[in-house]
Amino acid sequence: MYSTKTYNESIELLNSLQSNASTLDQIRKHRKEADLRSIPEMIQCFKRIGYNPVDFNRLNAIHISGTKGKGSTSAFVERILRGFGKTITNQSIPVIDKNNNVHNHTSENELFEKQEKFKTGLFTSPHMIEVRERIRLDGVPISKDLFTKYFFQVWEKFHNDSDLRSPLNTSEKVLGKNENILNHNVEHDEKLISRTEKPIIPSYFRFLTLLAFHVFVQEGVSVAVIETGIGGEYDSTNILVSPTVCGITSIGLDHVDILGNSIPEIALQKAGIMKKGSVAISAPDQDSEAIKVFEKVAEERHCEFKIAKTLDQYIQHTNSLKLHAPEIGIAGEHQVINAALAVELCFQWMKRSKWSAKHPEAIQDTDIENTGKYLPEWVLEGLKKTKWPGRSHSFIPPKHPNIKWFLDGAHTKDSMNACVQWFLKETNNSKTPCILIFSPAHGRNKPELIKELIQVVNKRPFLKIIFCNKITFNPETTNKNIAHNPKELSELLDSWKNVSLENTCKNTTQNHVNLTSDLENISLLNSINDAVEYVYTNYGKQTPLNHKENNNQMIPEKEIQFNVLVTGSLHLVGGVLDVTNTPIW
pLDDT (tens digit per residue) in 296-320: 999 999 999 999 998 887 765 444 4
Helix (H, G, I), strand (E, B) or coil at 161: helix
Distance in angstroms (rounded) separating the CA atoms of residues 168 and 582: 47
How much is the average pLDDT of 507-527? Answer: 65
Can 7-17+31-91+116-157+199-385 and 393-545+555-580 be said to share one CATH topology?
no
**163 vs 378, more confident:** 378
Cβ atoms of residues 147 and 130 within 8 Å: no
pLDDT of residue 7 exceeding 90 = yes
**37 vs 399, more confident:** 399
393: left (phi over 0), alpha (psi -120 to 50) or beta: beta
**Percent of the chain having pLDDT more than 70?**
72
72-75 contacts: CB < 8 A, separation 24 or more? 72/330, 72/335, 72/338, 72/388, 72/391, 73/247, 73/249, 73/283, 73/338, 73/339, 73/341, 73/342, 73/345, 74/122, 74/124, 74/225, 74/226, 74/227, 75/122, 75/124, 75/330, 75/386, 75/387, 75/388
Distance in angstroms (rounded) separating the CA atoms of residues 281 and 36: 26
pLDDT of residue 506 exceeding 90 = no
CA 9 to centroid of chain Cα atoms: 26
Cβ atoms of residues 269 and 290 within 8 Å: no
The 10s digit of each residue's pLDDT in 193-220 is 444 355 678 999 999 999 999 999 999 9
The answer on whether 125 is annotated among ligand-binding residues is: yes
**Which of these CATH numbers, 3.90.1150.110, 3.40.50.80, 1.10.1200.10, 3.40.1190.10, describes 7-17+31-91+116-157+199-385?**
3.40.1190.10
Q: How confident is the model at residue 562 (pLDDT cuts 50, 70, 90)?
A: very high
How much is the average pLDDT of 277-284? Answer: 96
Q: How confident is the model at residue 36 (pLDDT cuts 50, 70, 90)?
A: confident
Distance in angstroms (rounded) separating the CA atoms of residues 480 and 440: 17
Give whole-number Cα distances, 513 to 202, 216, 425, 549, in Å: 46, 50, 20, 13
Domain map of the chain by residue range?
Answer: 7-17+31-91+116-157+199-385, 393-545+555-580
In the chain, the amino acid numbered 116 is: E
The answer on whether 165 is annotated among ligand-binding residues is: no
**In CATH, which superfamily holds the domain spanning 393-545+555-580?**
Mur ligase, C-terminal domain (3.90.190.20)
**272 vs 322, more confident:** 272
- Close Cβ partners of 42 (under 8 Å, ≥ 6 residues apart): 206, 209, 236, 238, 239
Q: Average pLDDT over the chain, rounded to whole? A: 80
What integer pLDDT is reported at residue 344 of this predicted model? 94
The answer on whether 255 is annotated among ligand-binding residues is: yes
The answer on whether 227 is annotated among ligand-binding residues is: yes
